[in-house]
Amino acid sequence: MRIILTQIAILLILSTVTIAQTFEFGGQIRPRAEFRHGYRSLIGEETKPGFAVSQRTRLNMNYSSKEFNTVISIQDVRIWGDVTSANKSDINGLMVHQAWGELFITPKFSIKAGRQTISYDDQRIFGNSDWTQQSRSHDALLIKYTQSKSSMIHAGFSYNQNAEKDTGNYYSLNYFKAVQYVWAHHEIKNVAISLLLGNFGMPYNTITTENGPVQKIKYIQIFGPYLTYKKGDLKINLAGYYESGKNQKNVTKTAFYTGADAVYLLNPFTLGAGFQYFTGNGQVTPDDKDHEFTVGLGTGHKFNGWMDYFYAGSSHKGVGLLDLYLPVSYKMNKFSTEFQLHYYQAAADVKDPLNKDIAMNAALGTEVGIMFMYAFSPEMNISGGYSQMFGTATLEALKGGNHELTQNWTWIMLTFNPVFFKAEK
């Protein structure tokens, strides 16, 4: 029955193409094999490495006209073997990755509502996290004003519930209850500047009453600019964000992030250098405020090394981070490769496990990594990579494991992006 309904829906959509401006029906199949021997955390002597094949499968439908745009994206994310070959249902099953509509009130003013990806600038604060097979999308309302391709402003709103309720607003997930933000972007000659102001609310202090659980919301504010300078083959990026408000434990938040990088195109090579700095909480000399920069709706895998030791999905106990890095990439025809070297330090003091009154050396380690991609066509490519972490005793104190052992991670991935049908009018 489900298959029949799906076929009918597709036929109905195709029947409207004669009056549509653009309709595209495509998909993605992306299996990835990974060998993890110290990925995200240092591996120990008695710990066996992990190996698995994950896969993302998507069906995407895009429709656009002068009056409105819509996108529907359905996906299945699985690990090979997570159910038997004769199983009646999947563990995760199908899910809606995107389902949104955008109504154009005027050619420059629009309202976009539904489940959607939100991505701005370098994706540090808002990003689609495309490396993860499930990716990231939000149930949100966006109000957009686009003066031109170089000047625009967005306002976004999200309010989350577990279910439709007649009374109460209790939210049981460890996730943002409410988000509001404004993002503005403007370009002048060689300079582009973006400003972001966000208000992120998390559930706090749930109390059980006769009428059910009651909770408050604590908000963290984040504000800052992102700047880009381009001239010839040189590109420079600068960013800085400040966090204030109250965290989920009702502790005052005062934290910041700053980063800069420069890349120079020396065809076919691209040479770069940069740094990122996140404040953190000292373990030897703590105070009554939270200095850990924590807002995480961005693309974590893109930053601070490919082995993912230092982002929201892989805690290092809130001591902050200084990351100095050198990327070098090469691209020729259908082949491209990139090499990265990272040096890490803790931004705040880390206590010695043998003497809690003494701070350890701030150095956390060095990571080297290389990746490649070969595009057989615009719709199909193969990519892979190898990374190795040279950790320190300080990193071991934060994340466990044994820093003296070899810590490495390797992967290979096939990506198919077929376009099954496309029509334009």
pLDDT of residue 2 exceeding 90: no
Tokens 């154009």 belong to 104
Mean pLDDT on 60-81: 96
Band (pLDDT 50/70/90 cuts) for residue 122 is: very high
Whether the CB-CB separation of 222 and 242 falls below 8 Å is answered with yes
| pLDDT value, residue 3 | 53
pLDDT, tens digit, for every residue of 189-233? 999 999 999 999 998 877 777 767 778 899 999 999 999 999 999
Q: DSSP per residue over 133-161, as a string? A: SS---EEEEEEEEEEETTEEEEEEEEE--
Band (pLDDT 50/70/90 cuts) for residue 17 is: very low
Which amino acid is present at 353?
P
Band (pLDDT 50/70/90 cuts) for residue 1 is: very low
Q: DSSP per residue over 164-186, as a string? A: --SS-----SSS-SEEEEEEEEE
Question: Would the pTM of this model clear 0.95, i.e. be above it?
Answer: no
**Bridge partners, 242 (sequence order):** 223, 256
Q: How many CA within 13 A on the CB side of residue 295?
A: 30
Tokens 């893109």 belong to 302
Q: Looking at domain 33-424, does it have CATH number 2.40.160.100?
A: yes
Residue 197 is given by DSSP the state: E
Residue 252 is given by DSSP the state: B
- How far apart CA 121 and CA 116 sit, in angstroms, is 17
- How far apart CA 295 and CA 196 sit, in angstroms, is 13
Mean pLDDT on 317-323: 94
Give me the residue spans of the domains in the chain. 33-424
Whether the CB-CB separation of 13 and 420 falls below 8 Å is answered with no
Three-class DSSP category at 261: strand
Q: DSSP per residue over 267-326, as a string? A: TTEEEEEEEEEE----SSS--SSB------BS-GGGSS-TT--SSTTS--TT--EEEEEE
Label residue 85 left, alpha or beta by phi (over 0 means left) and psi (-120 to 50 means alpha). alpha
**Bridge partners, 228 (sequence order):** 192, 237
| Per-residue buried b or exposed e for 4-21, using 16+ beta carbons within 10 Å of the residue's own CB | eeeeeeeeebeeebeeee
- How far apart CA 242 and CA 86 sit, in angstroms, is 52
Q: What are phi and psi of 164, to 5 degrees?
A: -70, 125
